[in-house]
Amino acid sequence: MHYDVIIIGSGVAGLSAAIYLARANLNTLVLGDQKTSQLTSAFEIENYLGFPDRVTGRELLRSGTKQAKQAGASMIQTNATKIIQKKDKLEVFFSGGLSHTSDYIIIACGMLSSIDFANSLNLKTEDKLIKVNCDNQTSHEKVYAAGNCCTRTRQIAKDVGDGCHAAINIIKRIKNSPNYTDYGSLEDQK
């Protein structure tokens, strides 16, 4: 199947991106096994906006997944295994040799596995992190990165922001618009 955007990683950066992309009516797929997320081991998160009484990593992932699905994102609970360039599309493989294609990809799967994807697409890296520009775009014009794979800052709020930022920049490119907001009427966005 073909998607506008495939997000590799179902942690907070990937889920944040999925919410924005799906709300913009882009056909969005999230690939990732949340059991492998670093966030599942966070028992008490005390510094995330909106949760004054603490939240667990699992609760945060569960809520984010629900919100992404409600926005219209599709999800497959499996990890991606490989990305290849196929003419003007990107093909993402996952368990069982199955694959889907997309126009854009967001890599949001953490440091270790992201380097394999970066190498397969010859993305620029530095110190085991994917290099991104101020739009979260990698050295490949249709591949973006968000969260722990492109920064050493290990903060949930930062990762959520990265996912949002990457998504909004993809939306602006697809819609050929210099501005995009996720609130208000469409007239407000002109």
pTM: 0.92
Across the chain, mean pLDDT equals: 90
In the chain, pLDDT over 90 holds for what percent of residues? 62
User: What is the per-residue pLDDT for 187?
Assistant: 54
Residue boundaries of the structural domains of the chain: 2-189
Residue whose C-alpha is closest to residue 9's, from 88, 73, 103, 86:
73
The model's pLDDT over 6-34, given as tens digits with 9 standing for 90+, comes to: 999 999 999 999 999 999 999 999 999 88
The model's pLDDT over 72-97, given as tens digits with 9 standing for 90+, comes to: 999 999 989 889 999 999 999 998 88
The model's pLDDT over 162-173, given as tens digits with 9 standing for 90+, comes to: 999 999 999 999
Is the CB of residue 12 less than 8 Å from the CB of residue 30? no
In the chain, pLDDT over 70 holds for what percent of residues? 95
Strands, E, within the chain: which ranges? 2-8, 28-31, 74-76, 80-86, 89-94, 98-107, 125-126, 129-130, 143-145
Top-tier CATH class for 2-189: alpha beta
User: What is the per-residue pLDDT for 20?
Assistant: 97
Whole-angstrom Cα distance, residue 166 to residue 168?
6
Position 112 confidence tier, pLDDT thresholds 50, 70, 90: low
Residues paired with 30 in a beta bridge: 7, 75
Q: Tell me the average pLDDT across 50-58.
A: 87
pLDDT beyond 90 at 182: no
User: What is the per-residue pLDDT for 170?
Assistant: 98
